[in-house]
Amino acid sequence: MLQFTVLLTAAALLLGCTSKEESQLLQDYSAHASYHEHLQKTEKVQLYEGNVTKAMLTATYLYTQTYEKHDTRDEVFIVGVYLEDEALQTLQEGEYTLTLNGSNAKEALQLDKHDERLKALSFVMEWGSYYLVTFPHVEAKDFKLTFKSAAYGEGTLHFAKVAKYILSKEAF
């Protein structure tokens, strides 16, 4: 009888501690799965002068894994740029450069503020400019996107085609 009471008490405690909203949480996550996937592939870098942000870049890597052995698709990013100097609010002015492992972009298409592709992104600035930037294919599983300014230096964003922890030798 004592074992039955202990078992019943343990079951009551376990059932009492579970979330009553678990199914709702799973539904919400499933409804916003692309948002969360993009969030995992988004990086941000800021360029400073003193303690003031002069330029900020956010980049979301638009890569979906395939099971092809020889995937030769181009590397595509949605890049958001905020520049303090409003006269230079574009990447095409020459003051700023964007390279992927040292290679220049094949194409940089400016996106409209109401573009459908921006709705799935995790970090959209109203005051920034957005571009769909295409780079040549990179064989490596990890690579660096470098944002350079003649006046403020450079910042590097690290991206990977696989989960970053797979490439790390450090223990978490």
- pLDDT, average across residues 55-84: 88
What element of type H or E holds 102?
Answer: none
DSSP annotation string for 9-68? HHHHHHHHHS-TTHHHHHHHHHHTHHHHHHHHTEEEEEEEETTEEEEEEEEEE-------
Q: What is the pLDDT of residue 132?
A: 94
- What are the tens digits of pLDDT across the range 87-137? 655 666 667 889 999 999 999 999 998 888 888 777 788 888 899 999 999
The string of pLDDT tens digits covering residues 3-30 is 888 888 887 777 766 566 777 777 776 7
Question: Dihedral of the CA atoms 64, 66, 71, 76 (nearest 10)?
Answer: -10
What are the chain's domains?
41-167 (2.60.40)
CA 28-40-60 angle, 5° bins: 115
Q: Are 43 and 158 in contact (CB under 8 A)?
A: yes
Tokens of 83: 């520049």
What pLDDT sits at residue 28?
A: 72
What are 114-123's pLDDT values in tens digits? Answer: 888 888 777 7
Beta pairing partners, 40: none
Query: Higher model confidence: residue 16 or residue 59?
Result: 59
| Sign (positive or negative) of CA dihedral 133, 135, 138, 144 | negative
* Rg of the chain over all Cα atoms, to the nearest angstrom: 22
